[in-house]
A and B are shown apart, each in its own frame.
Chain A
Amino acid sequence: MSRNWPARELPQLDEFNCIDHSDKTNSYNCIAWAVGDTSRWWWPLPLRGGGNYWPEDTPRDETMEAFVTLFKNRGYTECDDGSLEDGNEKVAIFAKVNGRPVPTHAAYQLESGKWTSKLGRFEDVIHDEVTDVDGPAYGVPIVYLRRQRTHHPIINN
Chain B
Amino acid sequence: MILCPSYQAIIGMGPPAIDLILARLKAEGDDPDHWFWALQILTGINPVPEEDEGNVRKMADTWLKWGEGR
A: residues with CB less than 8 A from B are: 24-27, 32, 39-42, 46, 48-54, 121
- B33 proximal to A (CB < 8 A): yes
15 CB < 8 A contacts A-B:
A24-B31, A25-B31, A26-B33, A27-B56, A32-B54, A39-B54, A41-B54, A42-B54, A49-B37, A49-B46, A50-B36, A50-B37, A51-B53, A51-B54, A121-B33
- Residues 33-68 of B, flagged 1 when their CB comes within 8 A of A and 0 if not, give 111110010000010101001111101000000000
Residue of A nearest to B33 (CB): A26
Please measure, in the bound complex, the distance between the C-alpha atom of A121 and the C-alpha atom of B28, giving whole angstroms: 14
Please measure, in the bound complex, the distance between the C-alpha atom of A51 and the C-alpha atom of B48, giving whole angstroms: 9
Q: Hey, which chain A residues are within 8 Å of B53, CB to CB? A: 40, 48-49, 51-53
10 tightest A-B contacts by CB? A53-B54, A51-B36, A40-B54, A49-B46, A50-B37, A49-B40, A41-B54, A53-B53, A40-B55, A46-B37
Q: How many Å from the CB of A123 to the closest CB on chain B?
A: 12
Q: Hey, which chain B residues are within 8 Å of A41, CB to CB? A: 34, 54, 56
Q: A49-B46, A49-B48 are in contact. Are A26 and B56 (CB under 8 A)?
A: yes
Please measure, in the bound complex, the distance between the C-alpha atom of A48 and the C-alpha atom of B53, giving whole angstroms: 8
Q: Are A51 and B34 in touch, CB under 8 angstroms? A: yes
- B2 proximal to A (CB < 8 A): yes
Q: Hey, which chain A residues are within 8 Å of B46, CB to CB? A: 48-49
Q: How many Å from the CB of B51 to the closest CB on chain A?
A: 9
Q: Hey, which chain A residues are within 8 Å of B59, CB to CB? A: 51
Interface residues of B in 9-33 (CB under 8 A from A): 31-33
